[in-house]
Structure 1
Amino acid sequence: MSVETSPTLVPAGDEPEPGPVGPVRRQLFWIVPLALATIGLSVYLLLHHRWGADVAAILTLPVEVVGLVVGILIERGSTRIPTLRVPRGRRRVWRWAATAAALVLAGTATVWWFQREPDPRDFLSGVIRIGYTNEYAGWHATGGRPAHGMDVDVAYALARDFGFTIKWVPLGRLTNRMAALNGSWVDDQGQTESAVQLVISNFSMTPAKAETIDFAGPYFVDSQGYLSATPAHDISELPTTGRVCVLAGSTSSDALYQRGWSTLEKPSLDTCLSAFTQGTVQAVSGDRTTLAGFAWALGKDPATYIAFANGSEEYGIGLPNNRPRLCAAVSTTLDKFLTNEWERSFKENLKPIGLVPADVVKPGHTDTCQRPGPWNQD
């Protein structure tokens, strides 16, 4: 005789918890490939840091949003997949995980907001501090009247395009050009100064400098020269009985030493020229067009007393580091300057000190801007 038993009724809300979903390896089947793919992608992006940070930034927000949404759906039991249902005892953990994901998402957005490059027109608005080293005839001079020169014309072209007011900041020694773009700096009198937004001061563009600042340009191509106490047309005709003054840390010192000349290093071109006028040195190394202004002021014909050397010096505008948008905007203005104003500016500023267009090279256009270095953003 069989006994029929009625099914046990379970009150609503007291359903038994689902049992184990299977061996751990079944769950690792999809976790391990995802983990390995994530590690591999991270290593690949790190090895390609020039653009890896940009790709990572693009992927971060959507991945975090998807993770947050999936976590919320799982916690609320919205999925019908048993392996993705969270037992009641563990739902608090999932809530904390979802909260942590939301905080990470908010933190990422906040860091991006403060680390992003500002809009170039916001950065170059109001009163803009523009650094220059010293007054050089043809480039930046006053002489009892408002600042004038080719560098000054470049600055005015930017001021017109962006609508800002210029505040000129004398930088003194050459090393202050880069320091002033990177933050607070100390002037030649020992006073702490705030950063400048731009440096426009026949600033030579080199790969070494581009490691710590950005450049927009070139807007002028010069060459190295030597102002000599005696007539000299090339480096082989420089006087060998005295010394040649060079800027500290320049490549000129090595080249002259190899040729057997004695050199005297000074921190700035002004101090070299002071030694030249006092007879302490018999020649000064520098950029041709800069030396031409000093030669003209001393009554020496640049064509006779400036010896030419090989190589070229490309002048650009110094910018704070990692500012590709600012570089692109400034380069647009420089390209217009090269097309519409370069010849006039040369005629008004450099021709009076004895230079002719055949002595220099006018760039056809500015160079492509650098991509930012993602691991040392401002």
Structure 2
Amino acid sequence: MTHAPRRPRSRRPSPHRYARIAAAALLSLTAAACGGGEKSPTGTVYIGGKNDQPGFNLHSQHTDRGFEVDLAAYLGERLGFTPRFHDVVSAEREQELDGESPASELVIATYSITPQRDEQVDFVGPYFVTKQGFLVREDYRDIRSEKDVEGKVVCTVAGSTSAIAQLPADTTPHIEIDYSTCVRKLQQGDVDAVFTDEALLYGYVEQQKSSKVPLKVVPDVSFGTINRYGVGLREGRPEFCAELREALRKYLTKEWASDVKVQLPALVAAYPGDWENRFRPDPQDLDVYSSCKG
């Protein structure tokens, strides 16, 4: 799926962002006029995503590629809209869906479903399940067990579930705005490890396998919680929520495995014969974790 080139990230809203907000507002008004504003929107739907996460969503050469891009394309095909991604950082995902005129209709950005977030936005999911782990340089041998994390400098991202995980007391957290910055600092030797969701880490392993500083995920070392990725949407749209849920349920049984094989080959290689059991949610879990019930 090809989109227009993106601007570098900016903390200040640009005229283009205001244009997206206006477009989303117009879309909401049109939907409201046709049936209460709850059903699936049509036409172009703006989606907040992370465009620097290989395997899930990487923007390169004017093209978005990754598992979440494939997921959005499937949902759009099933529900009749055309997805268009724009960049959002972890700490600003709730803001993307905030207010009467949100910047995005959906957020698909390795967005873990948590009770705290569910108070601010609605979720449909999960579409991926993963524990948290550590990414290190391939030649690094100093982390082999949980106790070895003590005394290390560990990079993670503001607004993520990893940033609030309970690491050993003398671990030094290094907080960045995105994981690509953490990975760069890891390869430069500025930090000892990157800490986030294991599935996400394998995307960087694949991306950097031919670089001068290849990377690996530390086996069997994890802190924090099990994370369940969901599609975020603004609260109060139960019909749209239910339509997304049923489309996602079909995706889990029809397209999920083939998309993971294509987009996350390092993850599949790390768990031969067991990767689906580890990372694919049970389709019935959507009834438990989605905000829309029944």
Q: TM-score range by the shorter chain?
A: 0.7 to 0.9
Aligned-pair CA distance for 1:177: 1.3
Contact 1:213 1:320 survives alignment (8 Å): yes
Q: How does 1:25-104 map to 2 (within 5 A)?
A: none
Higher strand share: 2
Aligned-pair CA distance for 1:241: 4.7
Counterpart Cα distance in 2 of 1:217 and 1:308: 23
Determine the structure 2 residue equivalent to 1:197: 105
Counterpart Cα distance in 1 of 2:193 and 2:76: 38
Counterpart Cα distance in 2 of 1:228 and 1:278: 11
Q: How does 1:102-251 map to 2 (within 5 A)?
A: 117-121=36-40, 124-144=41-61, 146-171=63-88, 173-183=89-99, 195-229=103-137, 230-231=140-141, 232-238=143-149, 240-248=150-158, 250=161
Aligned-pair CA distance for 1:323: 2.0
SS in 2 for 1:291: helix
Taking structure 1 as the reference length, the TM-score comes to 0.58
Larger CA Rg, structure 1 vs 2: 1
1:288 to 191, 198, 202: 198
CA RMSD of aligned residues (A): 2.8
Counterpart Cα distance in 2 of 1:261 and 1:200: 31
- Relative to structure 1, the CA distance from residue 313 to residue 255 in structure 2 (aligned partners, 3 Å threshold; closer, same or farther) is same
Determine the structure 2 residue equivalent to 1:77: none
The residue type equivalent to 1:363 in the other structure is P
Aligned-pair CA distance for 1:237: 3.4
Counterpart Cα distance in 2 of 1:335 and 1:202: 18
The residue type equivalent to 1:319 in the other structure is L
- Relative to structure 1, the CA distance from residue 233 to residue 222 in structure 2 (aligned partners, 3 Å threshold; closer, same or farther) is farther
Counterpart Cα distance in 1 of 2:168 and 2:54: 29
Q: In the alignment, does 2:173 pair up with 1:263?
A: yes
Counterpart Cα distance in 1 of 2:270 and 2:80: 32
The residue type equivalent to 2:94 in the other structure is M
Counterpart Cα distance in 2 of 1:118 and 1:349: 34
SS in 2 for 1:284: strand
Sequence identity of aligned pairs in percent?
27
Q: How does 1:8-19 map to 2 (within 5 A)?
A: none
Counterpart Cα distance in 1 of 2:146 and 2:116: 26
Determine the structure 2 residue equivalent to 1:314: 228
Aligned-pair CA distance for 1:165: 1.5
Determine the structure 1 residue equivalent to 2:207: 297
- Relative to structure 1, the CA distance from residue 118 to residue 125 in structure 2 (aligned partners, 3 Å threshold; closer, same or farther) is same
1:367 to 271, 287, 294: 287
Contact 1:233 1:308 survives alignment (8 Å): no
Deviations 1:35-84 (A, max 9, x none): xxxxxxxxxxxxxxxxxxxxxxxxxxxxxxxxxxxxxxxxxxxxxxxxxx
Counterpart Cα distance in 2 of 1:347 and 1:145: 23
Taking structure 2 as the reference length, the TM-score comes to 0.74
SS in 1 for 2:57: coil
SS in 1 for 2:94: helix
Aligned length: 246
The residue type equivalent to 2:196 in the other structure is G
Instruction: Compare relative contact order (CA 8 Å, sep 6+) and give the higher one, 1 or 2.
Output: 2
Contact 1:273 1:284 survives alignment (8 Å): yes
Runs of 5+ in structure 1 lacking a partner? 1-112, 186-193, 373-378
